Amino acid sequence: MPLITAPLAEPVTLAEAKACLRIDDDLTDQDALITSLIVNARQQAEHRTGRRFGMQTWERVLDAFPGWAILLPDPPVHAIVSIKYDDATAIERTLDPAAYRLRPYSEPAAIMPVTTWPTTLAEPGAVRIRYTCGVTATDADWASLRAWMLLSIGVWHRPSAIDTAPTYALPDDFWNGLLDPLRFYGTVTA
């Protein structure tokens, strides 16, 4: 599944990360490193929870339309941007939005045909669904995500964390438990 558009803003800003790391805002020599740690922390949280954080656009590629619903990972799904498919004569078509319904509140989200799905070319990647998804700052558990990210950035940024055991470490169940309210426990199969 290719990422089409990354979030416009990260859940943690550079200024917030620098304040947590106790780095003066005027010092910019580590800004690139800290920015990459912010992105990596969000991506790791996405991996651990099965959700996307910040509004993003993704594309799911299928070999054909399924017998019933198309299930989309990355809850919550906000909208379908487009459903494109190669018809039986290998011409790319865009499915009319009136031909399907999005059920965004189910997890995983489901796209269902109003009648039946069209026939596609019998080749890999014949169906391409582009959609927007992501937990946003208005969601109640955003504070847990931000705390987890700041803890991660702090551990990853410490030069001594690589070479020696920290003198004080938070228990893994506490640290990773911060993501529990955000975790998606479902699975999506082709």
- At 189, the pLDDT band (50, 70, 90 cuts) reads low
Of residues 93, 42, 49, the one with CA closest to residue 73 = 49
pLDDT for the residue numbered 137: 79
Six token digits for residue 64: 């054909």
Rounded Cα distance, 145 and 155, in Å: 15
Give the number of other CB atoms < 10 A from CB of residue 94.
10
- The answer to whether position 39 is within a domain reads yes
Overall domain count for the chain? 2
- The answer to whether position 1 is within a domain reads no
Give the number of other CB atoms < 10 A from CB of residue 65.
21
pLDDT for the residue numbered 107: 85
- The answer to whether position 79 is within a domain reads yes
Same domain, 73 and 102: yes
- The answer to whether position 5 is within a domain reads no
Same domain, 20 and 62: no
Range with the poorest average pLDDT among 1-10, 35-44, 72-81, 164-173: 164-173
Contact in structure between 55 and 8 (CB atoms under 8 Å): yes
- The answer to whether position 62 is within a domain reads yes
- The answer to whether position 95 is within a domain reads yes
Contact in structure between 154 and 20 (CB atoms under 8 Å): yes
- The answer to whether position 3 is within a domain reads no
Q: Domain of 150?
A: 10-53+141-182
Same domain, 125 and 166: no
Rounded Cα distance, 79 and 69, in Å: 16
Same domain, 22 and 87: no
Range with the poorest average pLDDT among 10-19, 49-58, 128-137, 160-169: 160-169
Same domain, 64 and 117: yes
pLDDT for the residue numbered 36: 95
Same domain, 64 and 129: yes
Name the 3-class secondary structure at 95.
coil
Same domain, 123 and 159: no
The residues facing 47 across adjacent strands are none
pLDDT in tens, 39-75: 999 999 999 888 899 999 999 999 999 998 999 988 8
- The answer to whether position 173 is within a domain reads yes
Range with the poorest average pLDDT among 42-56, 110-124, 164-178: 164-178
Where is pLDDT greater, at 64 or 144?
Answer: 64
Give this prediction's pTM.
Answer: 0.83
Same domain, 97 and 166: no
Same domain, 60 and 47: no
Same domain, 171 and 154: yes
Name the 3-class secondary structure at 121.
coil
